[in-house]
Amino acid sequence: MSDLFNVSSSPHVRSKDTSSRIMQYVILALLPTTAFGIYNFGIKAAILIVVTIASCIASEWIYEKIVHKESTIKDCSSIVTGLLLALNLPPTLPWWEAVMGGVFAIIVVKMLFGGLGQNFMNPALGARCFLLIAFAADMTNFAIDSYSGATPLAAIRNGESVNLMDMFIGRTAGTIGETSAIAVLIGAIILILLGVIDLRIPATYIVTFVVFLLLFSGHGFDGNYIVAELCGGGLMLGAFFMATDYVTSPITPMGKIVFGICLGIFTGLFRIFGANAEGVSFAIILSNLLVPMIERYTVPRAFGVVKEAKKHE
Amino acid sequence: MNKNTERLYNGIIKENPTFVLMLGMCPTLAVTTSAVNGLGMGLSTTVVLVLSNLLISLFRKVIPGGVRMPAFIVIVASLVTMVEFIMKAYTPALASQLGVYIPLIVVNCIILGRAESYASKNQPVSSIFDGIGMGLGFTFGLTCIGIVREILGAGQIFGAQILSLEWFTPITIFVMAPGAFLVLAVLVAIMNIVRDKMEAKGKPLAAPSGCITGDCASCGMSSTCTGKSTNSASAAKSE
């Protein structure tokens, strides 16, 4: 017998997917959105994206140097964080504010809590909300050369009409990555085909949000309004790329559905009853905080385990 | 080091209520939007703390053990009411800035903590110094937080514009609630680095022990406590 058996402890079945491979898939899926953002907003957007990614990688590298940890920048997660953060910034943002956002995302939200896999909320969205509170004026300044200042969402809120086709393609004002629903959807299809994301979270998110709009928006069953709310703002980008972040979303199948429902309700509440037209990022980080609790109550029954009999028979 | 200066050192550095004991977090986070507010809050708490320590120490043999908490609260509340009236009369701007946090000094756990763990067991004079030390430590902590938040959040220090608004965009998050948590966390982290560095150099700042005071020599539980720190035993010898 010349065959040698590979003797090792479990698990014996391993997938080829590694953290860095999944991150590369996500970057690939974000390319259409990034490309459209640069096409739409010009060189300014490209510079902002590069600066944000660079600041994320640099802060991860420097932090790990300072605390004498093994460098993890090769897993590409800081590139994804930087890219997602940049796609969530308005193209007019001063570069040093974007750098600050990158540093906040990596050091405060991710590394201080233990690095990749330990962060309690999505680093990119944590940083976006930090910037939104810190530099409210710059973060909501959407004035671009060829477009009017108001984002479609703000226009809808003020009762103005919007061009749905423009919103779908993305020729509107907004953050770099959120304007084009079609580019985000192309990326989402790539992710689903590659098996990186599971449809449960985005699907329940969008369905819950639509139901919430039907019930509480005061517009009744108005197709135009609903499509505009879905394509406007960061909803698509958030639903497919940020709510599905492995670290900060539930791993249980039932938990994913509960998580999606929470997202839909929070987004609806913030958009309709809140002070701002947009509420996706706050909805996602708030739901991120609920994840440990959701997972606790949605643990699936292990195969063969009988449900505990009730006390009284 | 004699006992009174030891009390001052203890309050300001060794057991700084803000950075080491983490007491009085409510005013620490809420009113430190500017250096002046932090200083005002710290000083008014110091006044109350010194007077309450003095009175409680004087009455410590009269107050029955079973009702000492209500008795302490009555003393503290009377003092706070007086301080509030005085502030409203002489510093109305600061009083309206601090708002409800002045009456809330009554429930500041530093004051009741010092009354319970120090003043009710010690001589009036050392109780006064304990109050001054703790109060100044609290003032120091609040002012530090206030200065950092004011510089980052408004580009000002004690109300004077030091960073020109022409090139500086105020980071408004630092004058809002989340900024208080961020600044406090970073300052506590710096304080811990300093402690570690001093320890490495061989002149450690004694770590706070399990009880609030860390003052084993005069602690009522001294005979049963298992976590007595060795340096307070040597302090007891030198006295």
From the CA of A193, how many Å to the nearest CA of chain B?
A: 40
**Residues of B whose CB is below 8 A from A109:** none
| Chain segment A192-251, per-residue pLDDT in tens | 999 889 899 999 999 999 999 999 887 777 888 888 888 888 899 999 999 998 889 998
ipTM over 0.95: no
**Residues of A whose CB is below 8 A from B176:** 133
Chain A CB within 8 Å of residue B173 CB: yes
Cα A95 to Cα A48: distance, rounded to the nearest angstrom: 6
Q: What pLDDT band is residue A309 in, cutting at 50, 70 and 90?
A: low
Nearest CA in chain B to A108: B182
User: Is the predicted pLDDT of residue A105 greater than 50, yes or no?
Assistant: yes
Chain A CB within 8 Å of residue B178 CB: yes
Per-residue pLDDT averaged across B87-114, rounded? Answer: 89
Cα A279 to Cα A233: distance, rounded to the nearest angstrom: 9
Cβ of B173 within 8 Å of Cβ of A138? The answer is no
Cβ of B172 within 8 Å of Cβ of A108? The answer is no
Cβ of B173 within 8 Å of Cβ of A108? The answer is no
Per-residue pLDDT averaged across A181-186, rounded? Answer: 92
Query: Contact, A30 vs A78, CB < 8 A?
Result: no
Per-residue pLDDT averaged across A95-123, rounded? Answer: 90
| Chain segment B45-93, per-residue pLDDT in tens | 999 999 999 999 999 999 998 898 899 999 999 999 999 999 999 989 8
| Chain segment B163-191, per-residue pLDDT in tens | 877 788 888 889 888 899 999 999 999 98
pLDDT of residue A138: 83
DSSP designation for B76: H
Nearest CA in chain A to B179: A134
Cα A123 to Cα A78: distance, rounded to the nearest angstrom: 9
B225 or A90: which carries more pLDDT confidence?
A90
Chain B CB within 8 Å of residue A58 CB: no
User: Is the predicted pLDDT of residue B128 greater than 90, yes or no?
Assistant: yes
Query: Contact, B24 vs B42, CB < 8 A?
Result: no
- From residue B72, alpha-carbon distances to B23, B24, B68 in Å are 18, 17, 6
Cβ of B173 within 8 Å of Cβ of A134? The answer is yes
From the CA of B11, how many Å to the nearest CA of chain A?
A: 30
| Chain segment A16-55, per-residue pLDDT in tens | 778 888 999 999 999 999 999 999 888 889 999 999 999 9
Chain A CB within 8 Å of residue B223 CB: no
Q: Tell me the average pLDDT of chain A.
A: 87
Chain A CB within 8 Å of residue B182 CB: yes
Chain A CB within 8 Å of residue B25 CB: no
Q: What pLDDT band is residue A79 in, cutting at 50, 70 and 90?
A: very high
The single-letter code of the amino acid at A180 is: S
Cβ of B182 within 8 Å of Cβ of A108? The answer is yes
Domains in chain A: ranges and CATH: 19-295 (1.10.3430)
**Residues of B whose CB is below 8 A from A100:** 171
DSSP designation for B191: H
Q: What pLDDT band is residue A269 in, cutting at 50, 70 and 90?
A: very high
pLDDT of residue A80: 93
Report pTM.
Answer: 0.81
Cα A216 to Cα A269: distance, rounded to the nearest angstrom: 9
Size of interface A-B (CB pairs under 8 A): 19
pLDDT of residue B210: 45
